[in-house]
Chain A
Amino acid sequence: MKYLSLLIFGFALISISGCEEEKGPANLQLVFKGLFDGNTLVLNEDNTYVNGIPMRMSHLQFYIANIELKGDFGTIVKDIDVVDFSQNHMNAATAAQGETMTFEDVPPGTYTGLKFGIGVPPALNSMQPAEFAVGHPLSNTADHWTAWNSFIFAKVEGRSDEDDDGIFSGSILYHTGGDDLYREYENNSGFILVEGETTTVTLTLDALELFYTATDTLDIINNGVSHTTPSDQVSVDISTFVMDNFIRAINVE
């Protein structure tokens, strides 16, 4: 009889604990929303450049590396990925949603901000697409440039209409790469990840800000194309300018 009571008590305990709500891991959604001069970026739509020239963005993508959630127990949730604005930014209906990366099973807690690289870190950049499994962000030969032996860190493409006649005859193409152009972005906007819940952190990237600073503006008419050719200092300078501007162009929404 004594043992029976213990058994019943044990079952009761198990039953009560079994009724507690099970909580899953914390998830983080990192959303990148493309902008152009503060407005939602829609690829191939007419925009106006800094100096008033009509222009269109047709493609925008960049590698994002070592995505770190800052905090006392900060953690790197992904070593490399691609932010490609041609997924949702091709039309106005979906552009406002941004491009989403989801990180599952992240330790819950309070984080003090985000940190990540823009481009491909040297250790990975020394490798070839053929060394990565199919589907890996670095497996695509379209994003590797044999001439530099480097991945293409960022692709900024579009067209310009210099004489404002409605014909966007000018090419805009800035492809950046090479170890020296790897950059790091960091913010101090804290967020909390709760067990069993998905938290969304939204960043914006204003494409227009890639083209200018307070003192300089890229000449998209006469220097509209750059492949970061190592032997061409002008080309290297343009790509350096663009990569430096990524840091300023990315902001917390």
Chain B
Amino acid sequence: MIRLVLFALASILFVAACQTDPLPPPPPPPPTTCLSDEDLSAITYAPVSYEPAIPTNFPPLIVPPDNQLTEKGVELGRKLFYDPILSADSTKSCFSCHQLGKSFTDGLAFSPGIDGTLGERSSMALVNLGFTPGPFFWDGRTNTLEEQALLPVEDPVELHDSWENVVCKLSNHSEYPELFREAFGISNANEITKELTAKALAQFERTMISGDSRFDKVIYEQQGFFTDDEWNGYQMFFDLATGVLPDAECGHCHNAPLFTTNQFRNNGLDEVFDLNDFPDLGLGAVTGNLFDNGKFRIPTLRNVALTAPYMHDGRFETLEEVIDHYNSGGNYADNLDPLIYPIGLDSTQKAQIFAFLHTLTDLEFTNNVEAFGNPF
């Protein structure tokens, strides 16, 4: 009897083993982590608020409640900004495309990533971003500075790494765990995240405040004078001398004190008769709204003399070309901004606008290596 039962069991097992159903996929491998588990709790965490010097004529700094500026947070952000640890092959950092002397641009139409591949848009000046309610980037693809700081690391034409890898590198670094502890109060190196990294970068970016140009000194501080050409350029820029000088229509999109209105406009770079035909859809690719196609963020004109080439694609090498473009009335599209039309400036007046734009250069900012320079 026992043999009969054993035979029956063996037969069942045999039949089951011979079924042709596909094997279930192997279970996912257990999560591997390269995060260090270094205990940081013995390191002092005593955050001290960082109070940037804000020009009195500027709007309030926009700081999210969960990322208040601290001295250690800004210090960490600055270090990360300049550290090629954020790139896959440790050759490039934020600094590669955002250099202090060029008002945190790089002088190129398109910047090469770590693989040598060129990006599709010119790097934007990182100036007064803390006063920008967003959205950010030329196309407005992120709403906050913290979100903005997340993207370049994984962009294949920029730093081309993965956040998982970057966080592992930071977690195992000889200094960063302590710096993250001091900035954010984490108690273990395995608590370093991409979000904290982005927060630190955003803190540093919010300290990049430029408001000490000759324009500021003359207009807001009543120190010194414009030259005649600068004065006439100023009058035309803001339409202050109607009947005497033409309205150059600049100030509407580049209003003081930030010299941007943080809006997105089609400024007539490309002539299209079908809004789908823009070579770069810009904001439209983000919103999906046809009438947003070909619109780009209005950049600040602070330090504009240092940020060539110009426009989202760096098509204009010089400020003279930019002025000529606006003077011409730009190119037609159905969503061409109504402020873009032939201005009629003569050569003297264009030179005066050029002279005024140079008064927006803030060398106190671009030479401030102590606050913004490479800490390495």
Contact = CB atoms under 8 A, between A and B. Distances in A.
Contact of A133 (B60, B241, B247, B339): B60
B247 A227 contact: yes
A235 B334 CA distance: 26
Contact of B255 (A144, A224, A235): A144
Given A44-B291, A147-B251, A229-B239, A158 B338 contact: yes
27 contacts: A44-B291, A90-B291, A128-B57, A129-B59, A130-B56, A130-B57, A130-B257, A132-B60, A133-B60, A139-B60, A141-B257, A146-B255, A147-B251, A157-B338, A158-B338, A167-B273, A169-B332, A171-B339, A171-B340, A224-B338, A225-B341, A227-B239, A229-B239, A231-B241, A231-B242, A231-B243, A235-B242
Among B240, B242, B335, B339, max chain A CB count under 10 A is at B242
B305 interface: no
B239 A147 contact: yes
**How many B residues touch the partner, as a band?**
20 to 34
Interface of B: 56-60, 62, 133, 238-243, 247, 251-252, 255-258, 261-263, 273, 289, 291, 332, 334-336, 338-341
A134 interface: yes
A142 interface: yes
A229 B261 CA distance: 19
Contacts of A225: 338-339, 341
Given A142-B262, A142-B263, A146-B251, A173 B338 contact: yes
A75 B150 CA distance: 47
A111 interface: no
A70 interface: no
Nearest to A230: B242
Contacts of A146: 238, 251, 255-256
Contacts of B261: 140-142
Contact of A130 (B60, B239, B255, B263): B60
A126 to B, nearest CB: 15
A159 interface: yes
Given A43-B291, A141-B256, A159-B334, 12 more contacts: A58-B338, A132-B60, A139-B59, A141-B258, A141-B261, A142-B255, A145-B252, A158-B338, A167-B273, A171-B338, A171-B341, A173-B339
Nearest to A141: B255
Interface residues of A, number: 38
Contacts of A185: none
A44 B334 contact: yes
Interface of A: 43-44, 56, 58, 90-91, 128-130, 132-135, 139-142, 144-147, 157-159, 167-169, 171-173, 175, 224-225, 227, 229, 231-232, 235
A141 B133 CA distance: 11
Nearest to B341: A171
- The 5 lowest CB-CB distance pairs between A and B, nearest first, are A142-B261, A171-B338, A173-B338, A232-B242, A130-B59
A152 to B, nearest CB: 9
A229 B14 CA distance: 94
Contacts of A128: 57
Nearest to B292: A90
Contacts of A58: 291, 335, 338
B335 A90 contact: no
Contacts of B60: 130, 132-134, 139
A134 B59 contact: yes
Nearest to A171: B338
Contact of B238 (A147, A158, A167): A147
Contacts of B332: 167, 169
